[in-house]
Structure 1
Amino acid sequence: MDADREGGRRRTPGRAAYVVCGAVLLAGCASMPDSGDLRGVDSTPRQDTQVRVFAMPPQDDAEPTDIVQGFLEALTSDDPNYETARKYLTGSAAKKWQPGLSTTVLDDGPGADVLRPADRAQSEDTSFTLFGTKVAVVDGQQSYAPASGAYRETVHLVQDKKTKQWRIDSLPQGVVMGKSDFQRNYMAVNKYYFASNTKAVTAPETVAVADPVYVRERVDPMTQLVRSLLKGPTSWLDPVVRTSFPTGTALRSGVSSLAPDDRNTLTVPLNAKAKHVGTDQCKAMAAQLLFTLQNLTPAVDDVELQSAGRQLCSATESDADGEATRGSVKNPEFLYFVDGEHRLVRVPAEAVAGGPKAQPVPVPGALGEGDKDLRSVAVSRDEHMAAGVSLDGTSLYVGSLVSGGSLGDPVLVSSGKTAGDRLTTPSWDTEGDLWVADRNPVDPRLLLFKEGAGKPLVVQTPGLDGRIKDLRVAADGVRIALVVEKGGKQSLFVGRIEREGRAGDPQSVSVRELRATTPDLEEVTTMSWAGDSRLVVVGREQGGVQQTRYVQVDGSTPEGPPPAALTGVKEIAASEDDEMPLVAYSEDGIVRLPSGAQWQKVDADGTAPVYPG
C-alpha cells in the first residue's frame, strides 16, 4: 500500500492466505545448508501482501546453522514484539537487542558465511558473517531512505554449558531482510502535520503536510500509526511543520490497541498531557488523526479524543477538512497547455476526467489573447494568475486570467546563450508565490517572486551539486522537487523549503537537505507531483529505455502498477487530486490516461500541459 489514496477510495487489505515459515517448514522460505558456509539465505519469494508468516522457535539440539537460519526467518514474521526471534538469543542478548532501531533492506535475503566453524567436540562458540547489498534503511522514526553498498555484520553464537543449546549472544541492532520480505511485511502510510510558516491564499485554513512512514502491515498498523503521529514528525520534516498535540502527549498508560467501533468511530484515550487543551486545539488534533488514518481499514469516519477520563472533543471527516487544506482533495477547474499557436489554452477538468468533451479555448488575459509566443506555462493554485516563458526561453511573463488584462514587461530575463541555458518551467506555491530557475551556467539561480511580482528573491540551495533543469513546488508549500543535472546525468531530488520571517513575508528562503528519490535513473526527462507524498517521473536507467513510474518522496516505490507505457514523453502533468488523470506531451501531442484505460488524445498540436501549481 502506498501512502497516497488512489481514486479517492480507501484501500482494504484483506486477510486471505497464510504461510508458516520456520525451522520445520522451509519450502518457499529462506534456505540454508545444514553445515559449512551459509550461502543463499534467500528472501522469501514475492507473495501476495495478504500472506501471513509465523515464526517457529528453535528446536532442541539445533546446530548453529539452524539457529542463524531460524532467527533470520523470525525477523520476517508477523510476531508483534519479535518474541520468537528472541528465543534464538541468549538472555543477555535478548535484553540488549532493539529491533525497532532500524530495518535494513537488502536486494535479496541476507547471505551468511561461517566466520569460524564450531567443532562441537572442542569449541563452545562460533561466528557467522551476514552479507548482502543494501537497498534501503528504515530508521527508528520509521522513515525510509534509499541506501547502497555492501552490508556486512557479524553474529556470534555460544553453546550453553548446562543445556548444550546454541544461542546467539552478539548481533547487530535492528532487523535485516530482503526486499520482497520488506514489501510483504511493511506498508507506506502518511502521517499529517501542519505547515508551520505557510498558509494557503485560497483559504484561511492552515496547510496539512504528509510525512510518509513505514509500519508493519499485520501488526496492528492503526495503533502503530497513532503512536508514530503522537511522537511527532520525522527529523527531515520537523523544521517546517508543527503538531497540535501538546509536548509529551501519548496514548494513556495501559492502552495497547486501538480499533473503531461498529459506527466507524475511533476513541483515542490520551495521557494527562492533553487534558487541558481547548476545543479549537482538540479539533486540530482530531484533524491530524483523521487525515492520518484515512488509508487504513476498517474505515474511520470520526474520532473521539479523551484525557483524564473525560471526552475532549469529537470530529468527523468534514470537520477535519475544515481545519486544513490538502493538495490531494483540492480539485482543479481546468487543465492548461500551450496550443499550436503558442498561446495558453485550457480545457475543463471534468472533460479531462472523462466528462463531456470540450474543445480547448484561450485563457482570458494577455497570455491567451495576446501576441507572446510561449514554450512553457504555470497557473497559480487559485487559477487567478498565470506565468509563461517565452518560446526562446529568455523571458518570464506574469499576467492575470482576466479578459482584457495587459501583460507588460517580463519580470525576468535570462542571458543564457542557448535555450537549454535559460529559464525552466515556472511553478506556483500555495502562498501564491512564483518559483523559477535560471539555468545560465554563468549565474545559475533558483528564484522566488512574491505573488508573482517585484524583485525576485534568490533562494539559497546549500548542498545542491549541479544545475537545476526542472522544478515543481508541492501543494503543501514546504517541499520542492528538483531535477538536477550534472555531467550529463539528471537526478530527481526533494528538498525542504525553509522561510525566515513572518508567514507571507519571508526575509529569506532556502531549500535544504535534498534527498534523492530516483537514484537508479541516469536521465530524468520530466516529473510532476501526483499526490500528497508521491511524484510521477519519466526517465531512463543506464542502458535502459524510457519509462514512467510513481515514486514516493522518500525514494521508495509505491505498491501497484506503473502508468501505462507511452513512447516519446517530453512532459508530464499530474494533479495532487488523484481522481484527475495523468496528462502528457508526447509524439502524439497532448494525451491523457483515464483510470483503467489506455492513453487518449486530447490535442494533436498542444505542448507543455499543466494542472494548477
Structure 2
Amino acid sequence: MDGEPVDARWGSARVRGRRLRTVRAHAFAAAGLLLAGCASMPDSGEIRAVQASQGVDSQVRVFGVPPADKATPAEIVDGFLEAMTSDDPQLETARKYLTPAAAKSWKPSSAVTVLSSGLSRVAVRGEKDPEGPRWKVTGKKLATVDEHSAYQPQTGAREYEEQLQLVQDEDKQWRISTPPSGLVLSESDFQRIYMPVNKYYFAGGTLVADPVYVRQRTDPDSRMDPTTQTVQSLLAGPSRWLAPVVESSFPTGTELRTGTKSLSYDGQNTLRVPLNDKVGNIAQPQCKKMATQLLYTVKDLTGSRLDQVELLRSSDDKTSSLCSVTSVSADAIANRPKIPEFQYFVDNEKRLVRMKLDVSSEDQQTRTEPVPGPLATVPVFKVSSAAVSHDERRAAVVSEDGHGLYVVSLVGGGPMPAQVPIGRGGKAETLTAPSWDASGDLWVADRDPQHPGLWRVPGGTGTPERVQVAGLDNRRIVSLKASADGARIALLLEQDANSRILYIGRVERPDAKGDVSAVSVRELRPAAPQMADVTAMSWAPRGRLLVVGREKGGVQQARYMLADGSMVAASLPGATGLSEVAVAAAEDESKPKPVVAYSEDGIVWLPPGAQWRTVAAGGRSPVYPG
C-alpha cells in the first residue's frame, strides 16, 4: 500500500462509518457497546452516523478517542484529523497523536482553516521509506479565521495542502511530528464548534459592528466560556480589516484580570468585568465608552436580558468599581441610528411618498402621503429613486430620467434646489439610487459607461468628490448602500451580463488615523459568496445584510447574511414573488421594523413574526432612512 492513494475523504459516510458505529439505544439496552477504532463520539443525544453534508447538531458535544496500540500511519492521520473536531479540554486527545515536541508547540487556536468539504489524504512515502511515512492532506479552502477571530473568505487559489510527517517513538508507536499550524475543519464542523458574535468599536462617535467567531463552548486552550472569549477578543482590538477606520476606548494592554475564565450576569442583570491595572486612572467619559463597547458586544450572546455593565479595577487581589452604564445610557453613548418614523417609496405617479410605521394597522394604504416640502409643489417633481437622511429632514432624489441628483428639504417650503453636479446625461438612467450615512454624507454612483464612478457629497451640500475604490477593476457599480455608521459601504458590482456580486468596502476618511488623503474605499471583500447573482440588498440590524439573489442554478431567495460573508443568518419566506430591484430593512434594532420590498403586487411589508402583506398598490424603490 506504500504510496498508493487511499480513499479517505474526511467526514464522508465511508470514513465516519468506519470510525463511528451506528447504534440504537433500544437495540442494545441489555448489552455493552463496543466502539472500536472510533476517533470521536458524542456524549449526549442519539448516536448516529454523520455525513459532512449533514453536519452535527451544535448542542452535541464531541470528544476524541486516543490512538489505538500499534495503530498504522493511516489510522494515526485519520484519528488526528477527527480529533481536531472534538471538545476535549486543550484538545488533549488530538495531541496524543503527535510527538511530545509537536504536542507542546502546536497552537490550534492560532488560526482555523475552513474547508468547503472534507480532507482527502494520500500516502506520499510509506513505512519502509528511510525518512519515514509522510501523508499529504488536501481540500478546498473556503476561508480562514485569523488570530483576531475574524473570518476571511478565500478569494484566490482554493487548494489546501499540508504534509504530515510521521515518526516512531521509543515504543514503536507512530506519531505525527509536523501537524498543521492551527485547526483544519470542514464547514459543518466549523459551524458546530464556532458561533458568530459582534464586537463593537467606535468610528467617530458611532459604534461599528466587527464580526468574529468564538467557540460555542469552553475554549480548549484558554478554558474561557463563550462570553469571556468574546470580551477577551474585544479587549485585544478590532480585526485587521476594520482596524484602519475604528478605535477602541480601552487603553493598550487592557486585559481581563488574571485567572478570569467565566463571566455571568447577577440577579440584577448586571455583568461585572474585572480588568487589569491598565485602566487604573481612566476618566469617567472614557470608562463609560469602554463599558458601552462591552454592553453592546455581550448583550446578544445569550437570551438573558442585560441591563447594565460594570467595569472593575483590579489591584493587590482586590477589585473596586471603575464605572458602569445601563442599556439606556449606553444607547445614548453609542449614537445608534434614529428610530425611523416613516417608510418611503416612489408611487405610480413618480412622487416620493411616505407611510407611517404602524405595523398593527390593517389599512396601510390610507396612510400614504406625499412628503412635505418642494417635492410636493405643483408641478410635482417626478423621481425615479430616492434616499432619506437618518434625521428624516432631507431627501436625495434622482430625477425621472435618471440623470439628475437633487438634495431637497423635507421641512418647510421653497423652490427646488439646483441639481448636484454629478451625472452627464444620456439615453439611459445612469445614477444609482443614492444613500446617506449617519454623519450626513451622501453617496451615489454614476453608471455612465463613459464616466463611471462612485461619488460622495460631504454633508449632502458640499462639493461632490469622486471616491477611489481600490479593486474595482473597471467593474460597474449597479447599486450601493452606505452603512449607518459610515465606516462601510455595500457595493453591488456587475461581473458580467448575467452576474452581479455583492462586496463590502471599508470607507477611509481624511480624519481616520491622521490620514490626510481623500476619502476612499479599500479592501473590497465578498459579502455573499454563496450567491452567483445578487439583485437587491440592504443593511440590516446588528451589522448584517439583507440580500436578494440566487445561488448557481437555484431560485431567488431573500436572506440575512453576516457581513463578513461567512454564513446565512436567516432566510425570509416567500422571496420568489419579490422584485429583483429593491428591498429595505431598518438598521435600528431596538424596535424591529418590517422588511419592505417591491413586488408584482406593489409595496409589501414583512412585519416581525408575520407574513408578507401588500400595503400599497403599485409603486417602486422602497427605502428606510439611510
- TM range, normalised to the smaller chain? 0.7 to 0.9
Partner of 2:262: 257
Residue identity matched to 2:290: M
- Measured after TM superposition, the shift of residue 23 of structure 1 is 9.7
Match 2:614 to one of 598, 601, 604 = 601
Q: Distance in 1 between matches of 2:131 and 2:516?
A: 66
Partner of 2:12: none
Match 2:280 to one of 261, 272, 275 = 275
Q: Distance in 2 between matches of 1:408 and 1:312?
A: 52
Partner of 2:531: 521
Partner of 1:400: 409
Alignment of 1:402-421 (within 5 A): 402-420=411-429
Match 1:481 to one of 483, 490, 506 = 490
Q: 2:581 matched to 1:575?
A: no
Distance 1:368 1:529, change over 3 A: farther
Q: Distance in 2 between matches of 1:104 and 1:64?
A: 23
Q: 2:542 matched to 1:532?
A: yes
TM-score, normalisation: structure 2? 0.85
Distance 1:529 1:255, change over 3 A: same
CA RMSD of aligned residues (A): 2.7
Question: Does the residue aligned with 1:483 lie in a helix, a strand or coil?
Answer: strand
Residue identity matched to 2:615: V
Q: 2:88 matched to 1:79?
A: yes
- Measured after TM superposition, the shift of residue 24 of structure 1 is 6.9
Contact 1:343 1:369 in 2 (8 A): no
Residue identity matched to 1:458: R
Distance 1:24 1:447, change over 3 A: closer
Q: Distance in 1 between matches of 2:176 and 2:572?
A: 42
Q: 2:603 matched to 1:590?
A: yes
Alignment of 1:134-145 (within 5 A): 134-145=141-152
Q: Distance in 2 between matches of 1:596 and 1:47?
A: 28
Residue identity matched to 2:270: T
Q: Distance in 2 between matches of 1:83 and 1:502?
A: 44
Contact 1:41 1:111 in 2 (8 A): no
Contact 1:365 1:404 in 2 (8 A): yes
Alignment of 1:81-480 (within 5 A): 81-118=90-127, 125-147=132-154, 149-160=158-169, 162-195=170-203, 198=204, 206-219=205-218, 220-297=225-302, 298-307=304-313, 308=315, 309=318, 310-327=320-337, 330-351=338-359, 357=364, 358-370=366-378, 371-420=380-429, 422-465=430-473, 466-480=475-489
- Measured after TM superposition, the shift of residue 283 of structure 1 is 1.1
Contact 1:362 1:369 in 2 (8 A): no
- Measured after TM superposition, the shift of residue 458 of structure 1 is 1.5
CA distances 1:305-361 after superposition (whole Å, capped 9, x unpaired): 12223221222212211211224xx4211100001110010001224x667744210
Contact 1:22 1:74 in 2 (8 A): no
Distance 1:26 1:316, change over 3 A: farther
Q: Distance in 2 between matches of 1:156 and 1:27?
A: 32
CA distances 1:456-476 after superposition (whole Å, capped 9, x unpaired): 112122221212111101011
Distance 1:611 1:487, change over 3 A: same
Residue identity matched to 2:269: N
Residue identity matched to 1:167: R
- Measured after TM superposition, the shift of residue 241 of structure 1 is 0.8
Q: Distance in 2 between matches of 1:155 and 1:216?
A: 26
Question: Does the residue aligned with 2:90 lie in a helix, a strand or coil?
Answer: coil
Aligned residues: 569
Residue identity matched to 2:307: D
Percent identity between matched residues is: 51
CA distances 1:163-222 after superposition (whole Å, capped 9, x unpaired): 122211112211111111111111110000111xx3xxxxxxx21110000111112111
Distance 1:282 1:501, change over 3 A: closer
Partner of 1:612: 625
Q: Distance in 2 between matches of 1:501 and 1:262?
A: 43
- Measured after TM superposition, the shift of residue 387 of structure 1 is 1.0
Q: Distance in 2 between matches of 1:464 and 1:41?
A: 42
- Measured after TM superposition, the shift of residue 435 of structure 1 is 0.9
Partner of 2:505: 495
Q: Distance in 1 between matches of 2:187 and 2:64?
A: 18
Contact 1:22 1:70 in 2 (8 A): no
Question: Does the residue aligned with 2:297 lie in a helix, a strand or coil?
Answer: helix
Question: Does the residue aligned with 1:566 lie in a helix, a strand or coil?
Answer: helix
Contact 1:374 1:389 in 2 (8 A): yes
Q: Unmatched 5+ residue regions in structure 1? A: 1-20, 35-39, 199-205
Residue identity matched to 1:493: Y
Question: Does the residue aligned with 1:81 lie in a helix, a strand or coil?
Answer: helix
Q: Distance in 1 between matches of 2:538 and 2:352?
A: 19
Contact 1:23 1:58 in 2 (8 A): no
Partner of 1:547: 557
Q: Distance in 2 between matches of 1:25 and 1:53?
A: 12
TM-score, normalisation: structure 1? 0.87
- Measured after TM superposition, the shift of residue 537 of structure 1 is 1.3
Q: Distance in 1 between matches of 2:413 and 2:372?
A: 7
Distance 1:433 1:507, change over 3 A: farther
Contact 2:198 2:212 in 1 (8 A): yes
Residue identity matched to 1:209: V
Q: Which has the higher contact order (CA 8 A, sep 6+)?
A: 1
Distance 1:313 1:437, change over 3 A: same
- Measured after TM superposition, the shift of residue 431 of structure 1 is 1.1
- Measured after TM superposition, the shift of residue 498 of structure 1 is 1.1
Distance 1:237 1:512, change over 3 A: same
Q: Distance in 2 between matches of 1:519 and 1:189?
A: 20
- Measured after TM superposition, the shift of residue 523 of structure 1 is 2.6
- Measured after TM superposition, the shift of residue 123 of structure 1 is 6.8
Q: Distance in 1 between matches of 2:36 and 2:396?
A: 61
Question: Does the residue aligned with 1:468 lie in a helix, a strand or coil?
Answer: strand
Q: Distance in 2 between matches of 1:276 and 1:22?
A: 59
- Measured after TM superposition, the shift of residue 486 of structure 1 is 3.5
Contact 2:119 2:138 in 1 (8 A): yes
Q: Distance in 1 between matches of 2:551 and 2:165?
A: 40
Partner of 1:17: none
Residue identity matched to 1:598: Q
Contact 1:44 1:181 in 2 (8 A): no
Contact 2:336 2:588 in 1 (8 A): no
Contact 2:138 2:162 in 1 (8 A): yes
Match 1:51 to one of 60, 63, 66 = 60
Residue identity matched to 1:126: P
Deviates more, 1:102-111 or 1:233-242: 102-111
Q: Distance in 1 between matches of 2:131 and 2:488?
A: 55
Q: Distance in 1 between matches of 2:86 and 2:344?
A: 49
Contact 1:591 1:603 in 2 (8 A): yes
Distance 1:271 1:394, change over 3 A: same
Q: Distance in 2 between matches of 1:45 and 1:341?
A: 51
- Measured after TM superposition, the shift of residue 81 of structure 1 is 2.3
